[in-house]
Amino acid sequence: MEVCYQLPVLPLDRPVPKHVLSRRGAISFSSSSSLFGAPDPRQLSQRRGAISYDSSDQTALYIRMLGDVRVRSQVGFEPERRSSHQYLCIDFRTLHGEFETLTSFLQGIKIEVLLSFQRYLHSSRLLRGLPQQIPLHILDEDYTGQARCMLEKVGNWNFDIFLFNKLTNGNSLINLTFHLLNQYGLIELFQLDMVKLWRFLVMVQEDYHNDNPYHNAVHAADVTQAMYCFLQEPMLSKSLTSCDILLGLLAAATHDLDHPGVNQPFLIKTNHYLATLYRNTSVLENHHWKSAVGLLRETGLFSHLPPEDSRNMEADLGSLILATDISRQNDYLSRFRRHLDQDDLCLSNASHRHFVLQMALKCADICNPCRPWELSKQWSEKVTEEFFQQGDIEKKHKLEISPVCDRASNTVGNIQIGFMTYVAEPLFVEWARFSDTRLSQTMLGHMGLNKASWGSLQQEQSSAEVPFEEKSELKNETRSIQTLAGLLLSDAVLHLY
């Protein structure tokens, strides 16, 4: 089991080593566990991505860096419980010994992502003095043949992100995002330092929790690939600027950064520090945005840009990520409908382009029901399992079980049918009005087939469990409550994704 160790604080009168100050700071607020401890709110100003991102106090920076190093071990450490709730606790263990001992200990840890990047540095065409090309074909030597072939069809809606993740040894988000930025020529256009960019993407992937069944780096990669498909649509491809495209891809890659695996109502009812920090409003989305900005500043990816441009890009990135708050789905959808009804969307207008980019990211975020059945079914099972895990935690600690989170009274099928009917379908119908292309019709077609498939599975399951003489009575009862159940379900799922 992965645990988080708090390392000893350096004495204030001891100078901070220069090599330490050049290293990255705290990895994230949370541990890799699906639940995490809640620190004292007074400490938030000393954590990356909370209230402030930087500090002139080098000792504080050093302490912050040491406070979130993750290592694996089973013996030799005494646990220290930190939590404001008995059901929100993980073990934070104190490592005893000198800093030199720690350094030698950490050097023995195998970090495959970083080692892979070192191989990339040595084999890069750029480092061998070959001239730059557009796009820069610098990633070929790091991919297997199969992964490279998949990237040649990255704009295909049937793209299998699960297979691509296996072919890239679990690094789908890094490789896919780098490839797309490179393919658009954005690396050279914005003069992005490739080492900083790769480091940024590695840190982004690290900050997703792989033990979340759904909200993990593979989901982020899937949303990024879907976003690319939408950016290729004629209505957008001929109107969006290079800055729009850069922000759209980065927002897709970071839109669920450091997701804890539980929803906003759970954080609010357990008085979690994030809910307090963001005043119970778009709690997770604000955290994703601030975490992304923290990584941008930590890596200095945009440090070469004028300060005003850099700040504007951070704000626009936040506006895109905040749009993925599905509890505000109806607000965005109503505005989108009004624009389409009045036919007044003007993509030469920067604010209108940004709004369309928000809608594209919203579609990419919940496009799972629109994928082919083999992919859609896997995503449905994963997101439902994450709901059920939250319900198990709530049941264990005698909390009120959130809607659709009780595995004893819900199934994957009924949750997905409700989500498609009341959330996904209205959004994608309007998107098809805006961009009436083969892709939008394909997505609606897949959604209809997937909905029917879940209905058939539900019917088969019910037939296997219910005696024949009771089937007709249950059928009539089911029809009479479908409307009410659907309305309740739609309201519930809005708070879960």
**Residue 117: inside a domain:** no
**This prediction's pTM:** 0.72
Q: Which residues carry a binding-site annotation?
A: 215-219, 255-256, 365, 416
Take residue 59 and report the two structure tokens written for it: 């000792």
pLDDT bucket at 461, cuts 50 / 70 / 90: confident
46 part of a folded domain: no
Nearest to 415 by CA among 376, 380, 371, 372: 380
**How high is the pLDDT of residue 423?**
97
Bridging pattern class, strands 3-6 and 70-71: antiparallel
What range does the domain containing 168 cover?
140-462+479-494
User: How many alpha carbons fall within 13 Å on the CB side of residue 249?
Assistant: 27
d(CA 464, CA 471): 11
For β-strands 78-81 and 91-94, DSSP reports them as antiparallel
* 446 catalytically annotated: no
Q: What is the pLDDT of residue 414?
A: 95
Bridge partners, residue 6, by sequence: 94
**Residue 197 contacts residue 310 (beta carbons within 8 Å):** no
pLDDT at 494: 52
Per-residue pLDDT at 464? 73
H or E segment at 6?
Answer: strand 3-6
Domain assignment present for residue 28? The answer is: no
The CA distance from 419 to 494, in Å, is 8
Answer whether residue 116 is part of any domain: no
pLDDT value at 57 more than 90: no
Tokens of 388: 């059920």
Q: Is residue 410 part of a domain?
A: yes
Least confident of 22-31, 222-231, 302-311, 433-442: 22-31
- Give residue 18's pLDDT: 52
The answer to whether the CB of 438 falls within 8 A of the CB of 155 is: no
Question: Locate tokens 């540095």: which residue?
Answer: 121
Q: What is the mean pLDDT of the chain?
A: 77
State the average pLDDT over residues 190-207: 97
Q: Which uninterrupted H or E stretch holds 2? A: none
pLDDT single digits (tens) 113-131: 333 333 344 444 344 444 4
CB 214 within 8 A of CB 379: yes
> Is 26 among the domain residues?
no
Band (470; pLDDT cuts 50, 70, 90): low
- pLDDT confidence of residue 474: 45
Element (H, E) at 467: none
Residue 262 lies in a domain: yes
pLDDT computed for residue 279 by the predictor: 96
Run of H or E residues at 93 = strand 91-94
Which among 179, 215, 272, 339 is annotated as catalytic?
215
- Residues near 323 by beta carbon (within 8 Å), at least 6 away in sequence: 332, 358, 359, 361, 362
State the binding site for AMP.
215-219, 256, 365, 416
- In the block, tokens 């000792």 appear at 59
> Number of folded domains in the chain?
1
Q: What is the dihedral of CA 386, 389, 394, 396, to 10 degrees?
A: 180
Q: How confident is the model at residue 462 (pLDDT cuts 50, 70, 90)?
A: confident
Q: pLDDT value at position 145?
A: 80
DSSP 8-state secondary structure symbol assigned to residue 466 = S
Specify the range with the lowest mean pLDDT, choosing from 43-52, 150-159, 263-272, 377-386: 43-52
Q: Please say if the pLDDT value at position 263 is more than 70.
A: yes
Q: How confident is the model at residue 483 (pLDDT cuts 50, 70, 90)?
A: very low
Rounded to 5 degrees, φ, ψ at 396 are: -60, -40
- Omega before residue 11 within 30° of 0, cis: no
pLDDT (tens digit per residue) in 279-300:
999 999 999 999 999 999 999 9
Q: Is residue 218, in this structure, part of any structural domain at all?
A: yes
The sign of the dihedral angle between the CA atoms of 160, 162, 168, 172 is positive
Q: Residue 402 carries which DSSP code?
A: P
pLDDT at 309: 97
Under the banding of pLDDT at 50, 70 and 90, the label for residue 472 is low
Residue positions in the annotated binding site for Zn(2+)?
A: 219, 255-256, 365
pLDDT at residue 267 is higher than 50: yes
Task: CATH number of the domain at 320, please.
Answer: 1.10.1300.10
Classify 410 as helix, strand or coil.
coil
